[in-house]
Amino acid sequence: MEHVRFTITPYYNGWRVDDGLRDRDWFGQLEDAVASADTLARTRHALTGVVTVVVVEDGTGAPRLLSRHG
């Protein structure tokens, strides 16, 4: 199944949001990165109908799925 993955990863002293095509934004707090990625994912799904997911890859284990739209 086709889907768009928004990935949140540690970056310098904060967190980076990436949509697979480019780095979207940088945030100092994980909560802010999660909120932004979820908004982007929800909007992308609403506009395209493509399934979107938000995951965190923090380097401590397998990526964690935070949300799915569609």
Q: pLDDT tens, 41-63?
A: 999 999 999 999 999 998 888 89
Quote the pLDDT of residue 53. Answer: 97
**Burial of residue 26, with CB atoms counted within 10 A of its CB: 0-12 exposed, 13-18 middle, 19 or more buried:** middle
Q: Which of 55, 6, 45 has the alpha carbon at shortest distance from 65? A: 55
For strand 3-11 and strand 51-56, is the pairing parallel, antiparallel, or unpaired? parallel
pLDDT at position 52 is: 96
pLDDT at 1: 62
CA proximity to 24, closest of 50, 47, 5: 5
Q: What is the pLDDT of residues 8-43, one digit of tens each?
A: 999 989 999 998 777 778 999 999 999 999 999 999
C-alpha angle 37-61-56 in degrees, rounded to nearest 5: 0
